[in-house]
Structure 1
Amino acid sequence: MVHAPKTQYSVTWIRHIEEVPQPDWDALAMPLNTPFLEWAWLHNMERSGSAVANAGWLPTHLTVWRDRQLVGAAPLYLKGHSYGEFVFDHQWADLAGRLGLSYYPKLLGMSPFTPAEGYRFLTAPDEDEATITEVMVAAIDEFCDRNHICGAHFLYVDPQWQQLMENLGFHKWLHHSYIWQNQGFQSFDDYLAMFNANQRRNIKRERKSVDKAGLEMRAIAGEAVTRHLCRRMYDFYSDTCDKFGWWGSKYLSRKFFTLLHHDYRHRMVFFAAYGEDDSDPVGMSFCLTKGDRLYGRYWGSTMDFNNLHFNACYYAPIEWAIANGITSF
């Protein structure tokens, strides 16, 4: 157990992120690379009913204050299952059961339903991060001990923050992820140059197949994102999840996508395919951007078009990333 240093800090647990004013929370979250720890994203998760107690995600956020100033925060959730994490720890739950331990509920740190690297505690830039982290870990230890919670888990963490947590006694569990990195490309043709001739020919053929199907790919970002497109994105997302039945991982509500238009469209990029009906896309992917990062999230289409998935989810985003100075996707 980590013992909190004797400082002027006070710790408060909250059940709703709206208990903290958005400017206070975002003063800590905005400097980070990830967009998934910002107040609006997390608030929309709660407000839409997507990440709430009834869904098995009980918000149990930790905040640290110095006088009346927020200097530390951690989005945390009490969970009675492992759905929506995309880390399959059921073998650990099974082992705990054999040992007579209660694996659930567990305390989880991540942005709900978002397997994207970048989770960490939020710390005010003028505070000592190591000290704030020790205060928060000590509070988590005490909370888990007092409430008979077997463990605290942090998923998809920032690599630098990971080392800080390992120094405090946490153990890492490594998983794979696939990230495109811009190696100084100035155009999509520059990117293609890294492949051999057969690979370049295949990619060009796959991109042309969308044109031959009578489809036009468009990137729609920021203020150009309409409320109608947000509603359509939910339809695409829902339909894609339904195709996989019980394994479809449909955790987000329609309201979540609608709320994003109000206060988060500045982070959004849709890659939409339009056919003869210029008013409505036949397929679309949903990405988020912040700084020099682009994050792919969801996709769907009204019907199967040859290679549309690869164009909407890979080729078009990579082309947009190169044109907009994105370094990783």
Structure 2
Amino acid sequence: MTDILDGYEISWAPSITDVDRGEWNKLAQPMHFPFLEWDWLRMVEESKSASPETGWLPAHLLVRFDGRLVGAAPLYVRDQSEGEFIFDRVWAEVAQKGGIAYYPKVVGMSPFTPATGYKFLVSPDAPTGKIVGLICHTLDRFCSVNELGSCAFNFVDADWVDEMESYGYAAWRHQGYVWTNNDYRNFEHWLSTLNSNRRKTVRRERKTLRRDNVRIEALTGYDIPDHYFSKMYQCYESTNDKFGVWSCKYLNETFFDELKKYMRENILFIVAYTEDSDEPIALSMYVFSGDKLWGRYWGCFEEVRFLHFELCYYAPIEWAIANGISTYDPGMGGEHKARRGFFSTPCYSLHKFTDASMDLTFKTYILEVNSLENGYISEMNALMPFVSKEEPDEI
């Protein structure tokens, strides 16, 4: 279906492959957020990891002017919330008690990717406010006509929140983690900002790995052997299998196989070996673009003390400092991240409900929910192991 609004052509794409790769990436790549680029979305969709069968129906909204793509919103129609990492069960229960349909809903995000950066893709030479307004108007009508419960955008760019609130969306605040590079010269410089107990712990953990003859290597792009992508899938699978019903195993082996063909220039592997073998005993995988780094997956073939901390925190921080990375998002997780130098920071999802009473309920109570989340963020940051004013900043 195609509509014409104010001279702009509005249409829907039921698959990212229905959009020209070059056109899409011309809008997406300047954002330096690889999870919204054409290749990433194609791999997720074409591998059937995100498909109608798994509860993800692609419905990407396109805006053209004079035949040229000037705006796009990566979207999926959903009949569940699994794999979004925005745990909205409480709101689904509120809707159910009120006799209001919560599903289906339309969601804007990169599937299975709790990484901050989502917003509409807009050509830099197009009127951004106009494009955003057209997309929001179209989504309001789409949800109403198709009786969808709501429209939500997950893990949005923080700078986008105020603009979208003006279109009736309410922001739900969540706790996330980030490491920030404060012009560190090297890993030891960063380590010197931690208190003495934490410095000793980090050094002890790394020394233990060296004593156990564990060697760590960082590999990017075409330096990554092809078969490591298959090994990464095995690690991803085995790590998730350990969590049983709490597993987050959403991607399949086809997706990892496609990674080595289409986006390996954005991939970093941190690999652990034993002294007597050139085959990995553990791997962690990261995505990077510009000066940003995101932690994605990890796993091991052998259980080794402290290896998780090395592959998921210390080695990527060391790589980030050496390669001019300004921010490193380690992914979701517990307070052990705070104890290893990761700030708790707010991240946001945006919500607008089709039913007026549900929308009012959400907007009324989300202020209290956000206040509680602010308290939790403060609690996590109180665990940060930085040098106190009383402690000399000496190694």
TM-score, normalising length: structure 2: 0.81
SS of residue in 2 equivalent to 1:172: strand
* Matching of residue 84 in structure 1 with residue 74 in structure 2: no
Q: RMSD of the alignment, in Å?
A: 1.2
User: Is 1:224 matched up with 2:230?
Assistant: no
In 1, the alpha carbon distance for the partners of 2:228 and 2:219 equals 10
Secondary structure of the equivalent of 2:298?
strand
2:113 match: 114
SS in 1 for 2:77: strand
Q: Is the 8 A contact 1:5 1:135 kept in 2?
A: no
Please give the secondary structure, in 2, of the residue aligned with 1:281. Answer: coil
Which residue in 2 is equivalent to 1:162? Answer: 161
2:328 is equivalent to residue 290 of structure 1: no
Letter in 1 for 2:204: R
Q: Cα–Cα, structure 1 residues 79 and 6, in superposed 2: closer, same or farther, change >3 Å?
A: closer
Q: Does residue 1:301 correspond to 2:271, yes or no? A: no
Q: Which stretch of structure 1 is more off in the superposition, 159-168 or 281-290?
A: 159-168
- Tell me whether 1:8 sits opposite 2:4 in the alignment: no
Which SS does the other structure have where 1:85 is aligned? coil
| Runs of 4 or more above 6 Å deviation | none
In structure 2, what is the Cα distance between the partners aligned to 1:7 and 1:30?
27
Paired letter, 2:78:
K
| 1:320 corresponds to | 319
Structure 2: which 5+ residue stretches go unaligned?
Answer: 329-395
| Structure 1: gaps of 5 or more residues | none
Whichever residue aligns with residue 186 of structure 2, its letter is S
- Supply the AA of the counterpart residue of 1:245: G
Match of 1:239 in 2: 238
The answer to which structure, 1 or 2, has the higher relative contact order (CA under 8 A, 6+ apart) is 2
State the alpha-carbon separation in 1 of the partners of residues 285 and 110 from structure 2: 17
Shift of 1:244: 0.4
Q: Distance in 2 between matches of 1:53 and 1:6?
A: 29
Aligned partner of residue 321 in structure 1, secondary structure: helix
User: Contact 1:5–1:134 at 8 Å: present in 2 too?
Assistant: no
Separation in structure 2 between the aligned mates of residue 278 and residue 67 of structure 1, nearest angstrom:
59
TM-score, normalised via structure 1 length: 0.97
The alpha-carbon deviation at position 5 of structure 1 amounts to 11
What displacement does 1:7 show? 2.1
**In structure 1, C-alpha distance between the alignment counterparts of 2:90 and 2:5, rounded to whole Å:** 39
Q: Does the Cα contact within 8 Å between 1:181 and 1:327 map onto a contact in 2?
A: yes
User: Which residue is 1:209 aligned to?
Assistant: 208
Amino acid at match of 1:179: V
- Aligned position for 1:47: 46
Deviation at 1:279, TM superposition (A): 3.2
1:183-242 Cα distance to aligned partner (Å, 9 max, x none)? 110100110110122211111111112112211000010111232011100000000000
Distance 1:209 1:114 in 2: 33
> Which residue in 2 is equivalent to 1:62?
61
> In the alignment, is the contact (CA less than 8 A) between 2:56 and 2:78 conserved in 1?
yes
Q: What percent of counterpart residues are identical? A: 43
CA contact (8 A) 2:282 2:300 kept: yes
State whether residues 226 and 261 of structure 1, in contact with CA within 8 Å, keep that contact through their aligned partners in structure 2: no
Matched residue, 2:261: 262
Q: Distance in 1 between matches of 2:225 and 2:149?
A: 45
